[in-house]
A = this chain, B = another copy of it.
């Protein structure tokens, strides 16, 4: 009934991979940055994840072909044999139900741990609700050692100033309970739009932290494409926001409450 399916496309062997998560969230900062890493590195998809925990819907893609709601794992092997390989988690959604967030993150950790991953970077946006000022990238981590590493990369450390909701927080918490370490790297964003600038700032820091050299040149173009796609849809934004209400009205339009 409550199903999650891991469709393994390739049984890959990796060298101490670092696990990097970039699912949709505030300002799409995480998704934009990690999708871009996957593209630029020409990483290889090796797992597709389908789940009844995802929203019951599809997207309409280019040329009218529907896109499933899904998450995907990509790997990237570094040329240096001794260096860490990478696993990237990307997708077009997160789990809807809160307890299934736990379930999905746990299942994904099972898989990446079985590939030898011991280190996690989750990537997200930090909503400011206003124009962004000051340091553009913030971070929090599972342990002191990782905090030190973040400081060496000149990343501002958050302190007792709130929380991290969703996969970006949960992967760190559930990972630490398994002895993994990691950090959430957050780009400050007003939070209201697809924020390529925030994604770029985050990407620069991720390069520093991972030793990767992902170009940020194409990032603005990628964001622009996403924006165009969204603009088309915004004529009906009001409808979308009213969806839940409309759905309820529709199904209850000839209905009265009795008890």
- Nearest-neighbour CB distance to chain B for A67, whole angstroms, equals 8
Docked-complex contact A257 and B139, CB < 8 angstroms = no
Docked-complex contact A98 and B56, CB < 8 angstroms = yes
> Is A176 an interface residue when CB atoms closer than 8 A count as contact?
yes
Residues of chain B within 8 A of A243, CB atoms compared: 165, 252, 257
Complex partner residue of A165 from B128, B165, B258, CB under 8 angstroms: B258
- Nearest-neighbour CB distance to chain B for A203, whole angstroms, equals 16
Complex partner residue of A52 from B60, B99, B176, CB under 8 angstroms: B99
Question: Which of the listed residues A127, A139, A235, A257 has the most CB atoms from chain B within 10 Å of its own CB?
Answer: A257
With A64-B140, A163-B254, A254-B229: A238-B2 Cβ-Cβ less than 8 Å: no
Complex partner residue of A250 from B164, B245, B247, B259, CB under 8 angstroms: B259
Complex partner residue of A240 from B63, B101, B125, B255, CB under 8 angstroms: B255
Docked-complex contact A257 and B26, CB < 8 angstroms = yes
> Is A249 an interface residue when CB atoms closer than 8 A count as contact?
yes
